[in-house]
Structure 1
Amino acid sequence: MKAVSHYLGGEWASGSQMKLLAGPLLILFVMAMLILPLPPIALDLFFTFNIALAVMVLLVSMFTQKPLDFAAFPAVLLFTTLLRLSLNVASTRVILMEGHQGGDSAGKVIEAFGQFLVGGNFAVGLVVFLILIVINFMVITKGAGRIAEVGARFMLDAMPGKQMAIDADLNAGLIGEEDARKRRAEVAQEADFYGSMDGASKFVRGDAMAGLVIMVVNIIGGLLIGMLQHGMGFGDAARTYTLMTIGDGLVAQIPALVISTAAGVTVSRVSTDKGEDVGQQMLSQLFTNPQVMILAAVVMGLLGMVPGMPNFVFLFFTALLGGLAWALIRRTKHQEEEEAMAASESPPPAEAPEASWDDVQLVDTLGLEVGHRLIPLVDQRQEGELLSRIKGVRKKFAQEVGFLPPVVHIRDNLELGPSTYVITLKGAEIGRAEAFPGKWLAIDPGQVTGELAGTATTDPAFGLPAVWIEASQREHAQVYGYTVVDASTVVATHLNHLMHRHAGEILGRSEVQKLLDRLGEEQKSLVEEVVPKQVSLTAFQRLLQNLLEEEVSIRDLRTILDTLAEHAGQQSDVGELTAQVRIGLGRSIVQQWFGAEPEIRVIGLEAQLEQVLMQAMSGNGALEPGLADTLMTQAEQALARQETSGEAPVLVVQHSLRPVLARFLRRRLRHLAVLSQAEIPDDRTLRVTQLVGGR
């Protein structure tokens, strides 16, 4: 076994070394052909290898499903061009030195291309060669180069938008770090590929020009050498050297034309979700509509009945197209009949069973109802992307908020619009919007540079203006600065946003007990000391819900229980205990809004207004209607100024005012966070940038 393993390891190593040496060996061969004279048999071998290599490159480009599957194509283009040019130099040397002998003095391949393909007529060969040059240079190479240039420009312009979309999916929990890293690498590879293709397409164009110059030099040089050095007549020299030069040009330009075609196929490919290569795309899109076949058959039939036209050929294609249309119609009808039979073969109605407790359906904590057009997004058999995205949303929610939300139960609802979905919490609707599979939602973050044609709407999660666009407009939207996401991402992001907003309602007794059991594995004595000895499970659940209602994470359950162990014996009111717990969690709360910045810029209360509120709180604990309206209006104005300056929407007040103001302002300003001065850590510098009640 050791010997076998050693042998396999050595064989693998030698194979890897051969791959590493492939590039340097090819360069050495090219250099050798440029410097050393080659015998005719070597020219035959290398010209044949050049033709085989060109055919292989074309076939690989035809069978790849996306450009990155052939990422080595720009390098292959460079090496094949160098190989053809070095062969031209080697063959030119042989033709000018040995061409006076005629026949196969430059090899059988050049003789065959000069004699057989053009019938030994150098005028015909010259015309064919020039036509190949024009086709390669003016049509294929120029078109492929233009496509590569535009593709590289659009790819580079779209890179920021694609990176933003990846970051948005990562932040929403729809993808993980590894997937994000792979997507970023793919975007970078696409940019590198199209940039390389833009430059590599110039190789083929230069090769075509070089072939034309080499032909002229060979003909003139051959005439001079044949007449002056070997005493040949003008006619003999012209026939001999021109035919050999034409054969040399044809044997080089035909592989060049094949390589140019491969370059055009690679850069003009449009990737589809079906994973089809070029041939499959052409067949599936050209020969699927029987109406097209019928109309084409009618046109060919009319042309075939015109006197003087080749009637048989036109009528033959009329019959062929008509037969294809008839076969397509029959196949479509057969499929419809099979579907109708499958639908009609329903089982006979069974006797209605008696009602039982199984008929009682409990309300799902979280639910998602979809219209019939959205069913493919949630159908596991159709590989619906929304299912995996919802799993990612639940995982990200658990990591950020601190508890695992219940499973989202998904069902179709025929009473909804075909593209409508509804998100429910404990049977009640909390969100409704529309999504369109196959289209993309272009969200305006506020700094777009152009307008898009599509269905105007708003982002269901954050209320930003947006447009539903076709897939063909996706790259243009990213260039304009839109954030572009697909239908599955729209639904998943909306669900994630609503889960965070209603996290307090989602948290139930079972989730609280599982949290305690999880912490009890490491801190059993702490859990037993606090719950239920000092705080009942119900009160503890209410406290956690209070934190979640203001979007405070409950991941640090140990700190929460430590704070309760310290204060629960002195205070039994859940609201007061929540305030003490917030002080204990102050560092993480401030970190959530301001990161690691030493100076935090916040909104504050104007001193006179703060005094009025303190007096109102010390009285009956309620705000007068006039004071409440004034406070709400001034808070909205201060929040708008704070957000305009790019600062966090955080209001800091005295500890005694925080619970009342937070509850009051949350009615209309849900995204405004109200913090107590006691929650700010000592190592943070507090700076008031806006005042509620000030100017």
Structure 2
Amino acid sequence: MSARDLSVLASVILIVAMLIIPFPSWMLSVLIIVNISLALLVLLTSMNMNEPLQFSIFPSLLLLLTLFRLGLNVSTTRSILSKGEAGGVVETFGTFVVGGNVLVGLVVFVILIVIQFIVITKGSERVSEVAARFTLDAMPGKQMSIDADLNAGMISEHDARHRRDKISREADFYGAMDGASKFVKGDAIAGIVIVMINLIFGIIIGMTQQGLPIGEAATRYSLLTVGDGIVSQIPALLISTATGIVVTRAASEGNLGQDIMKQLLAYPYMLYVAAFTIFMLGVATPINDLLTIPIAAAMAIGGFMLSRTPVESETETAAMEEEIETEEMKSPESVVNLLNVDPIEFEFGYGLIPLADTNQGGDLLDRIVMIRRQLAIELGLVIPVVRIRDNIQLQPNEYRLKIKGSEMARGELLLDHYLAMSPGVEDDSIEGIDTVEPSFGLPAKWISEDMKEQAEIFGYTVVDPPSVVSTHITEVIKTNAHELLGRQETKQLIDHLQESYPILVEEVTPNPLSVGEVQKVLAKLLKENVSVRNLPVIFETLADFSKMSSDTDLLAEYVRQALARQITNHYVQENGNLKVVTMSGKAEKLIADSIQQTEHGNYLSMDPSDSQRLLETIANQIEQLSLMEESPIILCSPAVRMYVRQLTERYFPQVPILSYNELEANVEVQSVGVVNVD
């Protein structure tokens, strides 16, 4: 434990001792000076802080200082009533400060109490209460603002975490200040009670136990009581002033001295007006001119000096900032920063700015927050921050989505229209601009708001532009999720899993599988739209089979079979049926015979004519299912599933390839087509 910690603990023990043990008069004098010094230090610290959170320990410190002051009051009261003295400091305040006049001392004491209790403490208590209430009420809005800035790419995850922590600390601080201000109020009341006790019982003790005449007893104990009251109320007044300064520093930019001088003297010509007013006050009233004229002259000179001080104009400031920015661009560090590539970028033309502008009713930022949450649930992957920016090189109504710097999708929106997708049979009465729905490539029309109700009556699916673009973003990210999962993201998933399953993680990585090999397995699952959210099952499977093989393709197949229930539920229909296109025995044998085994893994090496025949047959089956309005699914044996996927992924990337081991036993499989090679 450090010396600072021990000093704080010793101070608390000293406070407890003051409540129990009688201290000698010289020690009380030392502690009184220490009390005044601490109060002055707290006041100066509160004036020089830039924001309240820089003095976040103030509520606890206020409690300790209040307890210290009350402990001193108990000790001085004990000394006054038992010995008729309380040290040189108390006696000095009772005689020298108030001139030995008891009545003057009582008046000064009452004035200090009124200033502290009625003016400062009451105002501080009200400000603390309102600040705590408004800080708590504003927390949801501030959190949403942080999420919006994070999604817009304006801040990083670290900055967002820091801002959220600051908001939480602000709420805790103002809540604590609301309660801490009650300490000062109670301390003022306790001061009044202690003074009354010292005064009344001091006179009684002086007359009965010490045999003093009533006049001498009243004089002696009144001076000691007034001295003790004033010497305790001065630091109390300093502390209550510091409390008021802390809770009223809501919109400050620097310390109190800087803010006062900067803002009070922001308009030098107002000093001329004030100087003229003071000058006329001396001329028009009996007030001595020797008082008003020097003050007026000092204010006028001050205004003249301030008005001559060069003030940077906005143009000069902007030019200076531009020059600094240019110099920074020339530095090697800024060039390095330009090499960074955002994982996901959404760019749009100036005509789509209302989509992202909250002042114009845009909710794109909130939608992206929901997209990231939705994909985290569906895929088990934390989607990186989507950086949103406008791009004047795009058409006004055009947008595009980039992943790792490469364009993945592009579309066009008409903000004053709705996108109506045909139910299959188009109606000529629905007029609009022909287009294609960007997410799924369906024929659609941009219709005006007047046609919206009529289109819905005829069975059209009508969506607004923000929903169109958010759906497009969701589908593009889902399709390319495997590219967003790198080693760093995989390490984060592993660390999260290790919190609950430490032994399981230790058995898989770093030995026998590295983070990169785990990443390859997870990426293969995501590439075929298999969620990796169930990481415990995935790692259980890797723990079982990674000792037999380090081939990530083979390990991914084992993981798929372990996730059979999840895969089945994803594709099975509501009635429990699953309609599939099966691979014939000849087709599977042709594929199996074309597998080449090497020391770096197995791959498919098929004769081009054979692969062409297979792909044509698969294309025919998919077309027939499309006419039947059925989603195509190809079912094959586990031994060739991986190679069928290799064959079809370039031409039919969205067609699922399942094996018999990936289906639950209770699923009724209906074959609606067969892939032959005849």
Q: TM-score, normalised by structure 1?
A: 0.54
Q: Provide the C-alpha distance between the structure 1 equivalents of 2:126 and 2:484, rounded to a whole number of angstroms.
A: 63
Amino acid at match of 1:507: S
Question: Are the aligned partners of 1:172 and 1:393 in contact in 2 as well (CA < 8 Å)?
Answer: no
Question: Are the aligned partners of 1:397 and 1:496 in contact in 2 as well (CA < 8 Å)?
Answer: no
User: Cα RMSD between the aligned structures?
Assistant: 5.0
Matched ranges for 1:76-115 at <5 A: 76-99=61-84, 105-115=85-95
Residues 386-435 of structure 1: per-residue CA shift (max 9 Å, x gap) = xx99999995732x58xxx9xxxxxxxxxxxxxxxxx78xxxx5667599
Q: 1:288, CA displacement in angstroms?
A: 1.8
Partner of 2:195: 215
Q: Provide the C-alpha distance between the structure 1 equivalents of 2:33 and 2:526, rounded to a whole number of angstroms.
A: 77
Question: Are the aligned partners of 1:166 and 1:180 in contact in 2 as well (CA < 8 Å)?
Answer: yes
Confirm or deny that 1:397 pairs with 2:342.
yes
Confirm or deny that 1:457 pairs with 2:360.
yes
Q: 1:37, CA displacement in angstroms?
A: 1.1
Partner of 2:110: 130
- Match 1:292 to one of 259, 267, 270: 270
- Match 1:61 to one of 46, 50, 72: 46
Q: Provide the C-alpha distance between the structure 1 equivalents of 2:484 and 2:40, rounded to a whole number of angstroms.
A: 68
Q: Provide the C-alpha distance between the structure 2 equivalents of 1:459 and 1:389, rounded to a whole number of angstroms.
A: 33
Matched ranges for 1:414-425 at <5 A: none
Q: 1:555, CA displacement in angstroms?
A: 6.4
Partner of 2:577: none
Residues 308-336 of structure 1: per-residue CA shift (max 9 Å, x gap) = 12333222222122112211222248x67
Q: Provide the C-alpha distance between the structure 2 equivalents of 1:202 and 1:311, rounded to a whole number of angstroms.
A: 47
Gaps of 5+ in 1: 1-15, 100-104, 344-371, 406-422, 436-440, 444-455, 465-489, 510-545, 560-582, 605-616, 622-651, 657-673, 687-695
Q: 1:147, CA displacement in angstroms?
A: 1.0
1:653–1:279 CA distance, 2 compared to 1 (3 A): farther
Partner of 2:308: 330
Confirm or deny that 1:34 pairs with 2:19.
yes
Q: Provide the C-alpha distance between the structure 2 equivalents of 1:552 and 1:61, rounded to a whole number of angstroms.
A: 52
- Match 1:194 to one of 168, 174, 182: 174
Residues 219-262 of structure 1: per-residue CA shift (max 9 Å, x gap) = 10011111112222221111110000000001000000001111
Residues 476-500 of structure 1: per-residue CA shift (max 9 Å, x gap) = xxxxxxxxxxxxxx99633499998
- Match 1:507 to one of 374, 387, 406: 406
Residues 361-384 of structure 1: per-residue CA shift (max 9 Å, x gap) = xxxxxxxxxxx9899699737999
Q: Provide the C-alpha distance between the structure 1 equivalents of 2:326 and 2:87, rounded to a whole number of angstroms.
A: 61
Q: 1:548, CA displacement in angstroms?
A: 11
Q: Provide the C-alpha distance between the structure 1 equivalents of 2:365 and 2:147, rounded to a whole number of angstroms.
A: 17
Partner of 1:149: 129
Amino acid at match of 1:313: L
Partner of 1:532: none
Residues 529-571 of structure 1: per-residue CA shift (max 9 Å, x gap) = xxxxxxxxxxxxxxxxx99995555464799xxxxxxxxxxxx
Residues 293-316 of structure 1: per-residue CA shift (max 9 Å, x gap) = 122222222222113123332222
Confirm or deny that 1:281 pairs with 2:259.
yes
Q: Provide the C-alpha distance between the structure 2 equivalents of 1:270 and 1:547, rounded to a whole number of angstroms.
A: 40
Partner of 2:553: none
Q: 1:196, CA displacement in angstroms?
A: 1.1
Amino acid at match of 1:266: V
1:44–1:683 CA distance, 2 compared to 1 (3 A): farther
Question: Are the aligned partners of 2:32 and 2:89 in contact in 1 as well (CA < 8 Å)?
Answer: yes
Q: 1:129, CA displacement in angstroms?
A: 0.1
Corresponding residue SS for 1:501: strand
Q: Provide the C-alpha distance between the structure 2 equivalents of 1:588 and 1:142, rounded to a whole number of angstroms.
A: 66
Confirm or deny that 1:494 pairs with 2:389.
yes
Confirm or deny that 1:311 pairs with 2:308.
no
Amino acid at match of 1:218: N
Q: Provide the C-alpha distance between the structure 2 equivalents of 1:69 and 1:505, rounded to a whole number of angstroms.
A: 40
Q: Which structure has the bigger radius of gyration?
A: 2
Q: Provide the C-alpha distance between the structure 2 equivalents of 1:553 and 1:396, rounded to a whole number of angstroms.
A: 20
Q: Provide the C-alpha distance between the structure 1 equivalents of 2:62 and 2:484, rounded to a whole number of angstroms.
A: 63
Q: Provide the C-alpha distance between the structure 1 equivalents of 2:404 and 2:204, rounded to a whole number of angstroms.
A: 96
Matched ranges for 1:207-246 at <5 A: 207-246=187-226
Q: Relative to structure 2, which stretch is displaced further, 313-322 or 66-75?
A: 313-322
Confirm or deny that 1:254 pairs with 2:245.
no
Q: Provide the C-alpha distance between the structure 1 equivalents of 2:341 and 2:46, rounded to a whole number of angstroms.
A: 41
Amino acid at match of 2:389: H
Question: Are the aligned partners of 1:47 and 1:109 in contact in 2 as well (CA < 8 Å)?
Answer: yes
1:459–1:311 CA distance, 2 compared to 1 (3 A): farther
- Match 1:206 to one of 170, 173, 186: 186
Q: Provide the C-alpha distance between the structure 2 equivalents of 1:185 and 1:463, rounded to a whole number of angstroms.
A: 21
Gaps of 5+ in 2: 368-384, 409-471, 486-522, 536-562, 575-618, 624-628, 634-651, 668-678
Percent identity between matched residues is 38
1:161–1:558 CA distance, 2 compared to 1 (3 A): closer
